[in-house]
Amino acid sequence: SHKSYVYVYECIKKDVLLGSISGGSDIISCFAGQNPTIAVHSEQIQARNLGMAVQCFDSTGKAVYDQKGELVCVKPFPSMPTMFWNDPNGDKYRNAYFSHFKGVWTHGDFCIINGETNGIQMLGRSDGTLNPNGVRFGSSEIYSIIDLIEEVEDSVCVSQYNHANEERVVLFLKMKNSYQFNSEIVSKIKTLIRDRLSPRHVPSLILQVPDIPYTINGKKIEVAVKMIIAGKEVTNKNAIANPESLEYFKNREELRNY
């Protein structure tokens, strides 16, 4: 986030190379990373890595710049997995990576590629993308605002769908120990999101939970929360560091009758 960049350069060291990365354990590599020969721009990963034909696709499969879209790799790369175990026909493999855009590796990340710098701004997992009333944005945009709220320790933002497949955004907050969740906090957050982002970014509901679920390697789990508030069961909990936290999202009275 911009806040992190400002903190590093103002409070740690003014001439450090602050380089972020984006990749995955499945490819044992990174699609984008740091480059010591070019400038650092706030919120952007500096460059696409060697051997990675990374682009940003819109919903029609067109490569775009300065627009939100899917991070894809349009050519094979050296560390690309070739198969899954126990998948003799390759169906699971193709569905995992090549079903969104035929023949194109879709990694499941939401991003923007800057047309001027070629830097990549990561916006979160695309399976966690929010799209209320046709306005598509990443949960990371909401988190960047929540980071400014002193009273909040953590949060998770997901979509909820009704029977007509209409979507609304629900924001769950974990408060810091010394602060109480109340209507003033809700109003403060909604106002800040409206002013810093747009009225369409404002969550329909803001609720409190005692804890937020994370994977054992420290990643916030949005998909499991989305499944639970849709009434589905999360069967694979082995990778969740705090699986008991999922209980806080079940059978919430506020989420019924939507």
Q: From CA 234, how far away is CA 244, in angstroms rounded?
A: 12
Contact 155, 173 (CB under 8 A): yes
Q: What is the reported pLDDT for 138?
A: 83
Token couple for 46: 């500096």
The pTM (predicted TM-score) of the whole model is 0.71
Q: Which CATH number is 131-255 given? A: 3.30.300.30
pLDDT attached to residue 13: 93
Rg (CA), the chain: 19
CB contact set of 211 (below 8 Å; sequence gap of 6+): 174, 242, 244, 245, 248
CA distance 127 to 220: 13
Mean pLDDT, the chain cut into blocks of 10 residues (258 residues total): 86 92 91 94 94 94 94 95 91 90 91 96 80 83 92 95 90 95 97 94 96 91 92 86 95 90
What pLDDT is attached to residue 158?
Answer: 94
Stretch (H or E) spanning 117: none
Half-sphere exposure of 29 (CA within 13 A, CB side): 15
Q: Which CATH code fits 2-123?
A: 2.30.38.10
Domain residue spans of the chain: 2-123, 131-255
- Structure confidence at residue 233 (pLDDT): 86
- 2-123 with 131-255: one CATH topology? no
Ramachandran region, residue 205 (left: φ > 0; alpha: ψ -120 to 50; beta: rest): beta
Apex 191 CA angle, 185 and 194, nearest 5:
140
- Grouping H, G, I as helix, E, B as strand and the rest as coil, residue 94 is helix
